[in-house]
Structures are given as C-alpha cells and as structure tokens.
Amino acid sequence: MPAALITGITGQDGSYLGELLLRKGYRIIGTEPSLEPSSLERIRHLQGHVDLVADDLRDQGAVMKILATFRPDEIYNFASNSFLSDSILHPVQAGEVSALGVTRILEAIRAVNPGTRFFQASSSEMFGKVTEVPQTENTPFHPRNPYGVAKVYAHLITVYYREVHNLYACSGILYNHESPRRSPLFVTRKITQGAAKIKLGLAGELRLGNLDTRRDWGYAGDYVEAMWRMLQQPEPDDYILATGETHSVRDLCELAFRHVGLDYGKYVVQDPALWRPTETGQLVGSPSKASSKLGWRPKVPFEEWGSMMVESDLEILGREIEQGGVQ
C-alpha cells in the first residue's frame, strides 16, 4: 500500500485528509510538534490506524530521520500556525516553521528519496493587498501579515525545488475552508459556538470585529479531495482551491443565529478592538484551473457547512452541560 506522511495531522485539514487516505488504502504517518504537543481530539477516531510521531520542523536532522524511517510516497505539509494574530505576535516563529520548515522538508526529500511527491498548503493570505479580483495562480503576491509573508516564501521555495531539483512538488493556494473541527480561535467557529452558547443560555452576547469583512469560504472536507488529486497528476503544478464566491461575517452571523431561532442583531456586538491591524483586500479565488485540470469543484455550500458547524457546537456544549463541564 502507498504511504503518506501528513505533517500537522492533528489539525482540521490533517484529520480530514487522514480519513480520505485511509479510505483509499494508504498507510498513514502523522506528525505533531514535539515541543508543543497538540490535542488529539480531531484524530481520536483515527488512532490505531495512524502511526503518530513527534517532529520539529526547526531541526533538519529530525526531519531527515522521519523520512528515512518511513520513506513516504507522498507528503502533505500542514505544519503551520494559521492563526494570524499569533504570527503578528511571534513573527520569527512563524518564519521558522511556516517558511524554513518547508525548505527542510524539501531538502530531506532531495536527500532521502527524490521520488516522494510533496504537497504544500499555501494560503490566500499571500495575495493580501490584492491587485485583481478574483485572484488566479498568476496574481502577484502582496502579503499583509507575517503569516502571509512566510507562506509566500514556502510557496516560492516549493516552485524552486520543482524547477531546479526536479522534485514532484505542488502548492495548493487554499482559501478559507471551515468545518466543525475548526479551532474556536477562528471567526467562523467563534460565531457558530457563540450562537450555540447563547441559545443554551451559556452567554448573553458575542463580540466580533468587522462584520462586513468578506471571505471566500468553503468546506474543509471538499478541499482535501483536491489536495490528493493534485499529487495524482502526471506533472506537478500549483492550484487555487476556492469557491469563487464570498460571504460576509455578517452573513454567517445571520445564518448561525437563524439556525437556532434567534436574531443575531440582538446579541452580536461589534468591537473595534477586535479588528485586524492590517486588513487584506477582497480575497476571492478563481477555481477554474482546479476545475478543468483536476475535475474538482467544491460540493458543500455555505449554508450547509455553516448549519453543520452550529449543530456540532450545540451537540458538544449539550454534552458538556450534562457532564457539568461548562463554565
């Protein structure tokens, strides 16, 4: 059976990709940071089917050892702290893992097994101060935060290893993709969890930043399918993975609160302190290349994944109430 290494398997994307690859008959090796072990909650159902190992993308020797031990046919790299505020507070750490960590993986592939296929999770945050709408694979980058800057480096070093060292190395430029497994630090989960808490009498208001910010939002379970398809192509290439549609934070508030029978306007408070110090432009991607070359289109619409997230948060909070664990 083919073997796949998923860095950051304990995150949202890693857990969904792990499920997909297991269904396809892969042997899965998943990594988590050795210095900051993450919660295994998202992959609890995968334990016993995944070889979980500690890694440190700041240590070239550690990366080399993992590749030499497991010799994966494919590597999917999600190892990055994607919470933007953290990158603003800790820009050096963002560069060490999200940028130089990718170089270390590519160097290890070149040294251990140049035939390994590599997927890099790039980000729409690379476009930042956008020059055109929608963005395509040829739109210039102009990131507006350290996370986006690190992702630009990682994206371009992936292109370099593909063109100069002839590695099978791809980048998926990922626009926002959500699910019930999204961290509550992200605005989508903050909204759905907030609506559920208010419905259950656990909170009286939800404080948010700019409600008119718009994003190209999709469903994470759809996006991992495209990632796998990218590594099955005859030639490596880069693809935008997006819906081509945008919705505002206000739209999601309205959907989430309507789902629980409430009017968001009575509970949501805009707090200027929660606005980003540097807002990006209108991030909306054109998925036409992924559609034509990969045969991929997002399937789960905004209304469906938004309602799915609210239902999941109602269930989680209800369970915690029964167990007496809600503060």
- The CATH number that applies at residue 27 is 3.40.50.720
Residue 326 pLDDT greater than 70, yes or no? no
**pLDDT for the residue numbered 323:** 86
Tens digits of residue pLDDT in 231-242: 999 999 999 999
Q: Are residues 226 and 307 in the same domain?
A: no
Give residue 83's pLDDT.
Answer: 56
Q: Say whether both 229 and 129 belong to one domain.
A: yes
Q: Which one-letter DSSP state was computed for residue 291?
A: I
Cα–Cα dist 48/298, whole Å: 30
What residues contact 53, with CB distance under 8 A and at least 6 apart? 29, 30, 31, 32, 66, 70
How many domains in the chain? 2
Mean confidence (pLDDT) of the chain: 93
What pLDDT does residue 281 have?
A: 78
Specify the pLDDT at position 36. Answer: 64
CB-based contact 209:248 (threshold 8 Å): no
Query: Higher pLDDT residue, 164 or 82?
Result: 164
User: Do both 49 and 103 map to the same domain?
Assistant: yes
Q: Of residues 136 and 280, which shows the higher confidence score?
A: 136
Q: What is the DSSP letter of 120?
A: E
* Rounded-to-integer distance, Cα 122 and Cα 239, Å: 10
Residues 150/87, Cβ–Cβ less than 8 Å? yes
In which band, very low, low, confident or very high, does the pLDDT at 84 lie, cut at 50, 70 and 90?
low
Q: Looking at the structure, do residues 23 and 164 belong to the same domain, yes or no?
A: yes
Indicate whether 276 pLDDT > 80. no
Residues 104 and 226 both lie in one domain: yes
- Are 104 and 20 members of one domain? yes
* 260-286 mean pLDDT: 88
Task: Supply the range of the domain harboring residue 209.
Answer: 180-216+246-278+302-322
287: in domain? no
Contacts of 323 (CB under 8 A, 6+ apart): none
The residue annotated as part of the active site, out of 125, 178, 225, 254, is 125
Q: Assess whether 123 carries a catalytic annotation.
A: yes
Q: Residue 305's pLDDT is what?
A: 98
- The answer to which of 76-80, 81-85, 261-265, 277-281 has the lowest mean pLDDT is 81-85
**Mean pLDDT to the nearest integer, 256-262:** 98
Which is catalytic among the residues 82, 123, 171, 179?
Answer: 123
Give residue 236's pLDDT: 98
pLDDT band (50, 70, 90) for residue 255: very high
pLDDT band at 89 (very low <50, low <70, confident <90, very high): confident
Give yes or no: residues 60 and 136 share one domain.
Answer: yes
Contacts of 251 (CB under 8 A, 6+ apart): 302
Residue 327 inside a domain? The answer is no
Residue 300 phi/psi, 5° resolution? -90, 115
Q: What is the phi/psi pair of residue 135, to 5°?
A: -85, 145
Assess whether 107 and 195 both reside in one domain: no
Q: Per-residue pLDDT for 277 more than 80? A: no
Query: In this structure, are 10 and 72 located in the same domain?
Result: yes
Residue 33 lies in a domain: yes
Q: Is residue 74 part of a domain?
A: yes
Pair 67, 184 in one domain: no
Give the count of beta carbons closer than 10 Å to the beta carbon of residue 273. Answer: 6
| Reported confidence tier of residue 262, pLDDT bands at 50, 70, 90 | very high
Q: Is residue 284 part of a domain?
A: no
pLDDT at res. 55: 87
Residue 321 has pLDDT above 70, yes or no: yes
Q: What is the CATH number of the domain that holds 204?
A: 3.90.25.10
Mark whether 77 and 170 lie in a shared domain: yes
Beta-strand runs (E) in 34-128: 50-55, 74-77, 117-123
294 belongs to a structural domain: no
Q: pTM for the whole thing?
A: 0.94
CA 67 to chain centre: 23
Q: What percent of the chain has pLDDT over 70?
A: 94
Least confident residue range of 221-230, 269-278, 287-296: 269-278
Evaluate whether residue 290 is within a structural domain. Answer: no
Residue 168 pLDDT more than 60? yes
**What is residue 135's predicted lDDT score, i.e. its pLDDT?**
98
Give yes or no: 147 in active site: yes
Q: Are residues 158 and 76 in the same domain?
A: yes
> Tokens standing for 3?
């073997």
Q: Is residue 295 part of a domain?
A: no
Out of 16, 26, 76, 147, pick the active-site residue.
147
